Chain A
Amino acid sequence: MSATAASLDRLSATLLAHMSGVTAESLEENALEQARSLDKFLSGVEKRAFQIARIAVRDTDDALDIVQDAMLQLARRYGQRPSEEWKPLFYRILQNRIRDCQRRRMVKNRIFAWLPGMRKADEVDETDFIESVRDERQGPTDKAMTGEAMRLLESALRELPARQLEAFMLRNMEGLDVAETAHAMGCTEGSVKTHYSRAVHTLRDRLTDAWGELS
């Protein structure tokens, strides 16, 4: 074998070793980086996501299940996507799970409605959430006022139609822009604007006076 052939063999062997080495290291580092990014993203949204689910389904345990399911689905299906895409995807999954939960509850209610003594599925064991809110920085009066304001807000939110509630929570609480909200809700940007605008008007009508008395 000539000198050129021997050099080519050495080059092939080096290439093989180099490709295997680089792939192992880069893949491992990439997987760790994705895991760290996901942890950071989820820790940033989990509490608000829980609040969105809890207000929509009116049950703490169901809301926790919904958030957990949304987190797992995001990791499984979209974990390899760039982290910038996670937010609208996560909220889309969350909204779908909320709707699934509401549908299941509706079916249960229809089935058990005629049975005497059966507890309706929507008569939920909701922890008095406002009472569980703790803020050591606030004095007792401030805390009571915040609690009462939040109780009124939640009550008004629960009177909203489902789509208006979705739009309001995603736009107002989570701070998604119109395009992200449209993606999360699976509708057009125009619909988002309409739902959000109507929700704001309804809430303002119901809360301005009540909140005014608190302050």
Chain B
Amino acid sequence: MSDERTPFEDRTQRALRDSAEHLDGRTRSRLTQARHAAVAEIERRGSQRMRWLLPAGAAAAAVLAVVLLQGRIATPTPETVATVEDIELITAEDSLEMYENLEFYAWLDQAASEDFPAEPTDAKRGVG
């Protein structure tokens, strides 16, 4: 079927549309009332939706604010994060030996700072 319209189709369309444009007053009035009822319906539904969406929006914003605050509290500070260098120090073998002689190193440190060294016991020193 071709989309081109024939003169016959144009004529029927004109006749039908003319008749629709010249309805009597009673019919026009009832159509207007029906339209107003439909428009009032969409307005009523719009305001209903607003009554639900506004509290929902406020609640969502409140939840977002709480999440932001919690996120800030739970964010780890740089001092608490173990870096690669820290892991190397912890896992190094010689560091265990150092902990065995911890008291000796403490004495050495005190002696160096106070400038009158006290002789440590051999047991405390624990080195060959």
- Chain A interfacial positions (CB closer than 8 Å to B): 4-5, 8-9, 11-13, 15-16, 19-20, 23-24, 27-28, 30-32, 34-35, 38-39, 42-43, 46-48, 50-51, 60, 64, 67-68, 71-72, 74-76, 79-80, 127, 129-130, 132-135, 146, 149-150, 153, 169, 172-173, 175, 193, 196-197, 200, 203-204, 207-208, 211
Question: If the complex has contacts A31-B46, A172-B9, are A72 and B37 also in contact, measured as CB distance less than 8 A?
Answer: yes
Query: Are B31 and A150 interface neighbours, CB within 8 A?
Result: no
In the complex, A39 Cα to B33 Cα: how many Å? Answer: 11
Is there contact, CB below 8 Å, between A47 and B21?
yes
Across the interface, A23 reaches (CB within 8 A) one of B17, B34, B57, namely B57
One of B31, B46, B72 near A8 (C-beta < 8 A): B72
Q: Quick check: is B16 within 8 A (CB to CB) of the other chain? A: yes
In-complex Cβ contact of B20 among A48, A60, A207 (8 A)? A48
- Chain B residues contacting A74 (CB-CB under 8 Å) are 38
Interfacial chain B residues near A200, Cβ < 8 Å: 6, 8-9
Known: A8-B72, A75-B42. A153 touches B35 (CB 8 A): no
> How many cross-chain pairs have Cβ atoms below 8 Å apart between A and B?
162
22 contacts between A and B (CB under 8 A): A12-B64, A16-B61, A16-B62, A20-B57, A31-B50, A32-B46, A35-B39, A42-B38, A47-B23, A50-B23, A50-B31, A64-B27, A67-B31, A68-B37, A68-B38, A75-B38, A132-B23, A169-B16, A173-B13, A200-B8, A203-B12, A204-B8
- Asked if A149 and B38 make an inter-chain contact with CB atoms under 8 angstroms apart, the answer reads no
CB distance from A123 to the nearest CB of B (A): 21
Q: Secondary structure at chain B's binding surface: helix, strand, loop or mixed?
A: helix
Q: Does B100 have its Cβ within 8 Å of any Cβ on chain A?
A: no
| B:1-49 near A, CB below 8 Å | 1, 6, 8-9, 11-13, 15-24, 27-28, 30-31, 33-35, 37-39, 41-43, 45-47, 49
Complex partner residue of B22 from A5, A30, A133, A169, CB under 8 angstroms:
A133
> What is the CA–CA distance of A31 and B21 in the complex, to the nearest angstrom?
30
Once the chains bind, are B61 and A71 in contact (CB under 8 Å)?
no
Cα distance, A172 to B17, chains bound together (Å): 10
With both chains docked as a complex, state the minimum distance between the C-beta of B96 and any C-beta of chain A, in angstroms.
39
**Interface class of chain A by DSSP:** helix
B60 within 8 A of A: yes
> B102 contacts the other chain (Cβ, under 8 Å)?
no
Which chain A residues border B33 with CB–CB below 8 Å? 68
For residue B74, give the distance in angstroms from its CB to the closest CB of chain A.
13
Q: Please indicate the chain A residues that have their CB under 8 angstroms from the CB of B89 in the complex.
A: none
**Does B69 belong to the interface (CB within 8 Å)?**
yes
Q: Which residues of B contact A28 (CB under 8 A)?
A: 50
